[in-house]
Amino acid sequence: MDKLAIDTRSMAQSVHYECCCLFLLVEDRACGKLIFRILFCIVYLMKKFMR
């Protein structure tokens, strides 16, 4: 159970890091793109968990 918790935490951290990178890549866009960024992160996270 502890191992599962560690795996889940590390996965969440990697997804968070990648979302931050994407956020920085498109930071120069309009603030209206924030919703798009959040949706993209959610879709990416779902794909990662579906594998």
Q: What is the pLDDT of residues 11-44, one digit of tens each?
A: 777 777 776 666 666 665 555 567 777 888 888 8
Given a cut of 60, whether residue 3 has pLDDT beyond it is: yes
Looking at residue 41, its pLDDT comes to: 82
Q: Is 36 helix (H, G, I), strand (E, B) or coil?
A: helix
pLDDT of the residue at 37:
75
Expressed in percent and rounded to 5, the helix, strand and coil fractions of the chain are: 85, 0, 15
pTM: 0.35
